[in-house]
Amino acid sequence: MLDVCAGVDEYTRFCAVLTGYAESDFRSDARQGDSIGVYQQNPRWWPSAAQGTAAQCRAFLAAFQDVSGDPVRDCWRVQRWLAPDPATDPTGFLEAAETRNYTRRLPVIDRIISEGKLP
């Protein structure tokens, strides 16, 4: 994943790593319902879902945009976990389980990127 992110800016790389960690703890064999892989992509919406981690990461990067400067919100814009839209229900967004999962992982992302391993 870090190799795929080599040509992107720091913020985009941070968000790609955050998503891989929050969605699956970087487990390529992760499954949750119909969603699979590191980025927990559903094949119905993500043709890259069954093509491995590098393809999933490239698809995430292609869809990613720095809209808010808030990594959790910007990751949500790509991943669309079950949470209210932060623009219309910020409290509901912050209280959603996936939002809390992403938020609690923020402090270690820089270390994962610099060391290339899980804490």
Question: Token pair of 98, please?
Answer: 């996936």
Report the 10 Å Cβ neighbour count for 27. Answer: 13
Mention every residue, 6+ apart, whose C-beta is less than 8 A from residue 10: none
What is the pLDDT, as a whole number, of residue 117? 87
What is the pLDDT, as a whole number, of residue 106? 97
DSSP state of 66: -
What is the pLDDT, as a whole number, of residue 105? 97
Q: What is the pTM of this model?
A: 0.94
Domain count, the chain: 1
What is the pLDDT, as a whole number, of residue 119? 82
Low-confidence ranges of the chain (pLDDT < 70): none
CA-CA distances (angstroms) from residue 71 to 23, 76, 86? 14, 8, 13
Q: Check if the beta carbon of residue 61 is closer than 8 Å to that of residue 2.
A: no
Give residue 25's domain range: 4-115
pLDDT in tens, 76-92: 999 988 899 999 999 99
